[in-house]
């Protein structure tokens, strides 16, 4: 593994309003452990990350530190208050990532990321400056007009973008410095890189790399864990 100073920013500042509760979504426990802890376990398994910065809702820093201390036991993980938007949270995380060669950004509510996927995006960022995992769309896609279908969107060339996303530090800083009004509507960092006129490498994502968004997703996650083993995209079975 190439020696590179890689800092991982874990976006955990979402309030989880679609869960209908005040508890931040990444703090929800499944099979006894928080989503945040499970995601960090997977990221740490890769072994190439120098430092972690976790962005949580303001006022929840102490609680997050308690959870990570109890469930992971690593006191070196830096917990900071995120902002009102994802991009503000990542900007605050970047302030803690000085000296990084590559910045890896991951959603705390994607608790099944594999080491192979992390390696693919980091390798892509080393070579191209920015890389994201994506999956080809398989459902029929459509535009809506109110509660009616307006038109069907051809799904050829349409992909769903996942995290972790990886960026050389110079690329990500330039993207933020030149983002302008785009930052108000962007939902991830790759959109800022594109808006800055730079390219983003796409690597193969994984079906198991699900994002917990609504309460029903917790049931899906629990069913995965109940099986004790998950079939990853390359066919290998892992605990």
CA distances to 34, 83, 221, 227 from 27, rounded to whole Å, are 5, 17, 14, 22
Q: Regarding beta strands 165-168 and 102-107, do their DSSP bridges make them parallel or antiparallel, or are they unpaired?
A: antiparallel
Q: How many domains does the chain have?
A: 1
In a domain, 1, yes or no: no
In a domain, 14, yes or no: yes
> Euclidean distance between the first and final Cα of the chain, in Å?
23
Q: What is the pTM of this model?
A: 0.89
Residues 6+ apart with CB under 8 A from 62: none
For range 174-199, the mean pLDDT: 90
CA–CA separation, 140 and 123 (whole Å)? 32
Residue 232 reports pLDDT greater than 50:
no
- Find the helix or strand (DSSP H, E) in which 61 lies: helix 61-71
CA–CA separation, 131 and 199 (whole Å)? 9
In a domain, 223, yes or no: yes
In a domain, 44, yes or no: yes
In a domain, 239, yes or no: no
Higher pLDDT, 139 or 166: 166
Tell me the DSSP string of 39-56: HHHHHHHH----EEEEEE
What confidence score (pLDDT) does residue 4 get? 82
Structural domain containing residue 78: 6-229
Higher pLDDT, 214 or 205: 205
In a domain, 119, yes or no: yes
Q: Which two tokens stand for residue 140?
A: 């029929």
CATH number (domain holding residue 56): 3.90.550.10
CA–CA separation, 185 and 135 (whole Å)? 22
Nearest CA among 1, 235, 237 for reference residue 118: 1
In a domain, 235, yes or no: no
Q: Which two tokens stand for residue 61?
A: 């820093």
Tens-place pLDDT, residues 77-98? 999 999 989 899 999 999 999 9
In a domain, 234, yes or no: no
């Amino acid at each position: 593994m190439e020696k590179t100073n890689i800092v991982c920013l874990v976006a955990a500042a979402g309030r989880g309003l679609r869960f209908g509760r005040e508890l931040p979504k990444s703090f929800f426990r499944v099979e006894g452990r928080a989503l945040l802890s499970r995601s960090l376990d997977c990221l740490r398994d890769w072994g190439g990350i120098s430092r972690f910065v976790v962005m949580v809702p303001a006022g929840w820093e102490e609680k997050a530190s308690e959870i990570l201390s109890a469930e992971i036991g690593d006191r070196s993980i830096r917990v900071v208050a995120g902002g009102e938007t994802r991009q503000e949270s990542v900007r605050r995380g970047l302030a803690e990532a000085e000296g990084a060669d590559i910045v890896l950004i991951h959603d705390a509510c994607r608790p099944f990321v594999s080491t192979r996927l992390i390696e693919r995006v980091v390798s892509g960022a080393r070579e191209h400056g920015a890389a994201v995992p994506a999956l080809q769309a398989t459902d029929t896609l459509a535009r809506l007009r109110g509660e009616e279908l307006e038109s069907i969107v051809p799904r050829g060339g349409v992909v769903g973008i996942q995290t972790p996303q990886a960026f050389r530090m110079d690329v990500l800083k330039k993207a933020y410095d030149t983002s302008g009004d785009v930052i108000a509507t962007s939902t991830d960092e790759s959109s800022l890189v594109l808006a800055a006129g730079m390219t983003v490498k796409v690597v193969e994502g994984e079906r198991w790399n699900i994002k917990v968004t609504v309460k029903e997703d917790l049931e899906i996650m629990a069913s995965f864990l109940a099986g004790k083993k998950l079939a990853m995209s390359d066919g290998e079975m892992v605990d």
